[in-house]
Chains A and B, each alone.
Chain A
Amino acid sequence: MIAPVREDRPASAHHPRGLTMARRAVAAALLKHSDESPPVSEPTSSYVAWLLIAWVMAITASYFAFWSWWTIDGY
């Protein structure tokens, strides 16, 4: 799979030339991604940040508040 954050992996150079276009098409059509910089200063990012913090706090609190719920007892 093609990683945007990985720099040391060369694109596979051992495939038949005809497959190169197909590989690019797979990456373009199915494995879309965006390369824009992470949102740090847009106004919406603060709402997202608050949502993230709320989610994290909810899970953390529920873990400690409902300890027995998280106990593994076989099934």
Chain B
Amino acid sequence: MPSFEAICDVLGSLAAAAAIGISAFGLGRPALRRLSLPHDGPLFVGVWSMALGLVIGGSLLLVLAAVGCVHSSVIVGLTLAACFWSLVEFTCIYLGATVGRIVDPLSAIEPSRAPSPRPRGTALVTLLAALVLLPSLVVALAPTTSPEALSASLELPKELLLDHGFSTSRLIGPAPPSLVQMWYLWALALNGPVAAALVHWGLGVLLALATVLLARDFLPSGYAWLAGCLVLLCPGVQHQLSLPLADLGLALFCALAMAAVGRIVVYLEVARWPVAAGVMLGAAVAAMPAGLAFAGALGIVFAWVAAAQRESRRELSQAARTLLLAFLVTAAPWLFFLGFSLNQPGPTQSVRSVVTHLGPLLLLALGMLPATRRLRGLSLLIGVSAVFFVLAPYSPWPGRWWSPLVPPAGIVAVWVWRETAERPRAVSGIISMAAAILALAVPVVRWTTAGGYLAVATGWQHRDDFLLAREPTYRAARMLNRIGHSSDRLLYQDSTGGCVASTFYFNCPTARQVGGGGFTYVLVAEAAESASGAATDRRLSTPDSSPPAGSNNEVGPFGEVIPILEYRFADDNNRPIRYRLLRLAKSRR
């Protein structure tokens, strides 16, 4: 039976993520009104308001962190204020829609325009996209155990909450802070890591809707929705939907920046869109440094268009100046932090990994593109994507840079699909069958993965039990969180030579290097001797019955230590790892 407490945990995380989404809309809607971009329906207003609101919210949290005011109470108060403003905005929208429904008698008797025909396969792809979103939501509702998500994305927000702002050591940290991490700070302050994962899941949905907006500039409405669904079928997107990482935020801002720049260079709407494009490009850089490569690619294509157009060169150069100013204002604080990390080697992604993330369906479409007719404007998308593909690996601290390629690839795939459907029935039938098999394969994999998370996502399993079974350091974290004090500091020493586990679930500050001192506890991870027991189960840990403190003192490399807890946990290669939580005797209270 699901316990009341576990169900409350699930509902609390959902409510926190929803509050962040509603607050983002409340923060972004006035900004969108101020930009006075031409309205194009509720989808346009919703997506642009949320995107702008996320930029404003993240920047506000960065300011709070810079001045040392990161307190849960402050963030909750700001969230409530933004939610209240959202309610005002929703009321205005409702009243506006009510007035809009009043029609004059003449237009009421005119025959309404027939809706555009739905493209073939829409129902199947929509169903598949829904089938993708559901298992990803199930996995997102479980506490994350991904080492990358815990160490790279959530560790900094946790430290900001503990320190109430940036400490000096954080300025020259191993990786620059990002806008996405500020949203996770927001989620941690309201709820916890599950809310952070749900925020990223929501970003995935927002990315699909932004792709629809981008595609509507090229394709009829039905095909544009198909492009949004295809984005969700991309394996990389599915993988990321359930983890609190940064890639989908980058893709969202890049898609919106591309849509805004398209408006400038094709429609020459130089009065309104440059600011929007600059803010979105700045936000892309703030989300991940790979956004710099995308800004460079967009800049090169923009310059190429401006150079080819003598008649409108003056307007375009004026737009470029406005765009650059908006970009610098938005990205400046994040570039400042990136400057501290430039001397450290950053991870990068191989081309093979990029192809894997894009998935077979989009790869299929890219290969078939030469056999289709040329669609107006598509060369712009392909040009930006191609230049980005070349520049991205050389961007400072590139990280994973696959995600900005997904929305253009989705639009290309839909165009290819439309062309294929017009070929002879036998040809289109064979190609459609293969595409359907590939499209089905990915959700099937997701559902098999989600099965193991269903219990904790629905409250049948408590999060504590889930983490004890899956997260190597959680048992030690739970013990230290019970007995520790606010002044404790943990040193994590890993000599296993494998994947270093995360220390996210410890409520005290943690470090992996001895520098700095002031440690009160040490968590040691070392490969257990093979003779002491073969690892056949992940749950190799001994019970929590720790030896009484002080009964078994030993002298190790840290001086005199007191064993608090010892247990074993099998790593991903089923190798037993021994974890020991030790208290340093010098710091005994």
Bits for B218-239, please: 1 = Cβ < 8 Å to A, else 0: 1111010000000000011001
Residue ID in chain A nearest B305 by CB atoms:
A30
B267 at interface (Cβ–Cβ under 8 A)?
A: yes
Residue of B236, B311, B380, B438 most packed against chain A (CB within 10 A): B311
Q: Which residues of B contact A5 (CB under 8 A)?
A: 219-220, 223, 375, 418
Chain B 548-576 interface mask (CB, 8 Å, partner A; 1/0): 00000000000000000000000000000
Given A59-B438, A72-B353; 12 other pairs, CB 8 A cutoff:
A3-B218, A5-B418, A7-B220, A21-B311, A30-B379, A30-B380, A31-B266, A56-B431, A56-B434, A59-B364, A60-B360, A72-B236
B357 touches A72 (CB 8 A): yes
Known A57-B434, A59-B360, A72-B235: A26·B312 in contact at CB below 8 Å: yes
Which residues of the partner chain B approach A48 to less than 8 Å between Cβ atoms? 371
Q: Assess the A72–B239 pair: CB atoms within 8 A.
A: yes
Asked if A15 CB lies within 8 Å of chain B CBs, one says: yes
User: Considering only CB atoms, which chain B residue lies closest to A37 in the complex?
Assistant: B422
Quick one: which of A21, A27, A60 has the most chain B CB within 10 A? A60
Minimum distance in angstroms from B388 CB to a CB of chain A: 18
Query: Chain A residues near B162 (CB, 8 Å)?
Result: none
A17 contacts B by Cβ under 8 Å: no
Interface residues of B (CB under 8 A from A): 38, 113, 116, 146, 148, 217-221, 223, 235-236, 239, 262, 265-269, 305, 308-309, 311-312, 315, 347, 349-350, 352-353, 356-357, 359-360, 363-364, 367-368, 371, 373-377, 379-380, 400, 418-420, 422-424, 427, 430-431, 434-435, 437-438, 441
Determine whether the beta carbon of A2 is less than 8 Å from that of B266.
Answer: yes
- Give the contact-size bracket for chain A: 35 or more
Chain B contacts for A43, CB-based, 8 A: none
> Interface code A10-45, partner B: CB below 8 Å = 1, 0 otherwise?
001011000101110111011111101010100001
Closest Cβ–Cβ distance, residue A12 to chain B (whole Å): 5
Q: Are A29 and B308 in contact (CB under 8 A)?
A: yes
Cα–Cα, bound, A2→B374 (Å): 13
A71 CB, nearest partner CB in chain B, Å? 7
* Chain B residues, Cβ within 8 Å of A40: 422-424
Across chains A and B, which 10 residue pairs bring their CB atoms closest together, nearest first? A1-B377, A22-B312, A22-B311, A49-B427, A1-B217, A33-B376, A63-B360, A33-B374, A38-B422, A1-B266
Distance in angstroms between the alpha carbons of A40 and B424 in the assembled complex: 6
List the A residue with the shortest CB-CB distance to B304.
Answer: A30
Cα A75 to Cα B360 with chains together (Å)? 17
> How far does the Cβ of B231 sit from chain A's closest Cβ, in whole Å?
16
Closest B-chain residue to A60, C-beta based?
A: B434
* Contact A23 to B430, CB < 8 A, known contacts A1-B218, A29-B308, A32-B374: no
Q: Which residues from A are CB-within-8-Å of B423?
A: 38, 40, 45, 49
Pair A22/B357 contact, Cβ less than 8 Å: no
The distance in angstroms between the C-alpha atoms of A3 and B267, with both chains bound, is 12
Tell me the complex Cα distance, A30–B360, Å: 30
- A30→B308 contact, CB < 8 A: yes
Cross-interface CB contact of B116 among A8, A25, A56, cutoff 8 Å: A8
List of A residues within 8 angstroms of B441 by Cβ: 63-64
- Tally of A-B residue pairs with Cβ under 8 A? 152
- What is the bound-complex CA distance between A8 and B220, given in angstroms? 8
By a CB distance below 8 angstroms, the chain A residues around B146 are 74
- Most chain B beta-carbon contacts within 10 A, residue among A21, A27, A29, A30: A30
Give the residues in chain A near B422, CB-CB below 8 Å. 38, 40
A6 to chain B, nearest CB (A): 5
| Across-interface contacts of B374 in A (CB, < 8 A) | 32-34
Q: Which residues of B contact A21 (CB under 8 A)?
A: 311
Report whether B371 and A52 are in contact in the complex, using a CB–CB cutoff of 8 Å.
Answer: yes
CA–CA, A36 to B422, complex, Å?
13
List the B side residues contacting A52 at CB < 8 Å: 368, 371, 420, 427, 431
**Which one, A26, A53, A75, contacts B347 given CB within 8 A?**
A75
B218: which A residues are within 8 A, CB to CB?
A: 1, 3, 6
Collect the chain B residues with CB atoms within 8 Å of residue A38's CB. 373, 419, 422-423
Chain B residues whose C-beta falls within 8 Å of the C-beta of A74 in the assembled complex: 146, 148
Task: Say whether A3 contacts B217, CB under 8 Å.
Answer: yes
A1 touches B427 (CB 8 A): no
A to B CB contacts below 8 Å, 9 in the list: A1-B377, A3-B376, A3-B377, A5-B223, A5-B418, A21-B311, A26-B308, A55-B368, A60-B438
A32–B383 Cα gap in the complex (Å)? 14
B219 contacts A72, C-beta separation under 8 Å: no
For B356, give its contact among A19, A25, A53, A69 (CB under 8 Å): A69
Given A6-B219, A22-B311, A27-B266, verify A59-B367 contact (CB < 8 Å): yes
Residue of A nearest to B379 (CB): A31
Q: Which residues of B contact A64 (CB under 8 A)?
A: 441
Neighbouring B residues of A51 by C-beta, 8 Å: 371
In the bound complex, do residue B435 and residue A56 qualify as a contact, i.e. CB atoms below 8 Å apart? yes
* A23 proximity list for chain B (CB < 8 A): 266-268, 312
Chain B residues lying within 8 Å of A72, measured Cβ to Cβ, are 235-236, 239, 353, 356-357
Q: Identify the closest chain B residue to A19 (Cβ).
A: B268
Q: Cβ of A22 and Cβ of B217 under 8 Å apart? A: no
Once bound together, how far apart are the Cα atoms of A55 and B367, in whole Å?
Answer: 7
How many angstroms from the CA of A4 to the CA of B236 in the assembled complex?
A: 31
Question: How far, in whole Å, are A42 and B359 apart by their CA atoms in the complex?
Answer: 32
Q: Shortest distance in angstroms between A11's beta carbon and chain B's nearest beta carbon?
A: 9
- Return B355 CB to nearest CB of chain A, in Å: 9
Chain B residue with the shortest CB-CB distance to A3:
B218
Give Cα A45 to B419, complex, Å.
13
Q: How far is the CA of A49 from the CA of B368 in the complex (A)?
A: 10
Query: Residue on B with the closest CB to A50?
Result: B427
| Interface contact A70-B312, CB-CB below 8 Å | no
Residues of B within 8 A of A33 (CB): 373-376
Given contact pairs A4-B375, A49-B423, A56 touches B364 in the complex (Cβ within 8 A): yes
